[in-house]
Copies of this chain bind each other. A is one copy, B any other.
Amino acid sequence: MGTSSRCVASCACSLLVPDARAGRLARLTEALGAAHLDALLITSLPNIRYLTGFSGTSALLVVTARDALFITDFRYQTQAAAEVEAVATVHIEPQSLWTGLWRLLPGHPAVEIVGFESVHLVHRDFQRLLEAGSRWQWRPASDLVEDQRERKDSDEVALISEAAQIAVRALARTLPEVRAGLTELAIAGVLEHALRVEGSEGFPFPSIVASGARSALPHARSSSKRVHEGDLLLLDFGAEYRGYCADVTRTFVVGRATPEQREIHETVRIANERAVAGIRPGMRGRDADALARSYIEQRGLGELFGHSLGHGLGLEVHEAPRLSRVAETLLPPGAVVTIEPGIYRAGWGGVRIEDDVHLAPDGPVILTHFARELIELS
């Protein structure tokens, strides 16, 4: 992610980023007060990036009521100065990040009770807190940053939208190259090349190119199977732009589609359309899931839609909120979520159509503009 220093230096969004980060830190400080914590130790790199702009892979962040301490290693000296200094005190630690923590924390005598991220700290590091950090009281905390990250601001939506545009442009470049006889891996290669040419900084998850019966596997990656005439071809892939992710799926037929392939595809397409049109902030996750699921169930195919409708999207490709049969929490305004109904028949194949949607105050806004009707690739 060495590209992000460019972002701070030159892109249009850079003027807004420092303000956004200051607001995020201020809101976190309020949340700390409500949780009776003097400080929070942040070990999740996406959370650190959200709060400080740091795009590297080695850092600790401590946020107190008064300030933010950022600790990284010598490799990131220049980058941390460019990305982080506007909102946090940067410390370059020659030994380990933990050594830096024990050196710096005593300089904040008002800090006694410190939260840590229970789902982002391994047991060995928890032991460090109890041993080397025995003079502080350590309290497990959850979702203090993630809760904020659910509601995207307009700059974040613009970055996700750019990632989505990279993804769909790459897909458009890829389709003319697809033909029977190629392996799934080779098609993944064409797609990934196109993603890079269009500007994707990385691959947020392993691309799925699954053909024929393999398209019914809920956990497929790409294999050396060759694509045959008549195969369903499912492409599920991501793009990354300035740290923000897009996640898109389309399913095609190589050659002419059978009536059954057409019918299943059309059912999934309508389920996707209904969910995209009907989803609103303030709805429970399970009710959003039902927008698509109820239609598939009406068609007698509910058993074949074995996963949830979607998930939040942002600095991570899977984040809150969840859109599933059991999600009771309300979808916050500003969230960006995937809508990805699917129908999978073991031994036959599967169809999934996935879009990224911003839950804007005035209604849902689709970020992934690419045909949803069945395309026959010839």
Contacts and interface: CB of A to CB of B under 8 A. Distances in A.
B219 A57 contact: yes
B189 A185 contact: no
A205 to B, nearest CB: 10
Given A2-B217, A224-B3, A185 B197 contact: yes
Task: Report copies per complex.
Answer: 2
Contact of A192 (B75, B193, B218, B223): B193
Contact of A190 (B185, B193, B199): B193
Interface-central residue, A186, A193, A306, by most chain B CB under 10 Å: A193
Given A121-B123, A224-B3, A206 B202 contact: yes
Nearest to A138: B123
Interface residues of A, number: 50
A295 B343 CA distance: 61
Contact of A140 (B121, B127, B185): B127
Contacts of A6: 223-224
B221 A1 contact: yes
A220 interface: yes
Q: Which 7 A-B pairs have the closest CB atoms?
A: A189-B196, A189-B193, A193-B193, A3-B223, A118-B124, A2-B220, A118-B123
A139 B75 CA distance: 35
A196 B186 contact: yes
A199 B185 contact: yes
A46 to B, nearest CB: 15
A371 interface: no
